[in-house]
Amino acid sequence: MLTSKQRAYLRGLANPIEAKHQIGKEGVNENHRELLCAALEANELIKISVLESVMEPVRSICDQLVELCKAEPVQVIGRKIVLYKRSAHNPKIELPKNRKKK
């Protein structure tokens, strides 16, 4: 579970990246799972665009992707979804640490 500070940090990192993946009118399927899980392993942070032809709510699509890839949702804004998952083999992103309250 990401803290609000970590989520804000990841949103900042995701801002300049382009959405390289799309969800079309067929919705989320097994092909998306394989593709997106591989992209998350390679990049840790990905942006996904949901096309206008998709009738399902974008938040629902995000929930499905989170469940399929065991990822963390970072942001859903408009028709864009940002997901994060720490790479098991080659971690690149160092998240801010949680500070303990005194």
Domain tally, the chain: 1
Instruction: Average the pLDDT over 40-66 and give the result.
Output: 95
Residue 51: which pLDDT band, with cuts at 50, 70 and 90? very high
Instruction: Average the pLDDT over 52-72 and give the result.
Output: 94
Positive or negative: CA dihedral 78, 87, 12, 19: negative
Q: Is residue 94 part of a domain?
A: no
In sequence order, the 6+-apart residues with CB closer than 8 A to the CB of 58 are: 50, 76, 78, 79, 81
Q: Is residue 37 part of a domain?
A: yes
Q: Is residue 96 part of a domain?
A: no
Range of the domain at 11: 4-84
* Per-residue model confidence (pLDDT) at position 75: 96
Helix, strand or coil, per DSSP, at residue 5: helix
Instruction: Average the pLDDT over 50-79 and give the result.
Output: 94
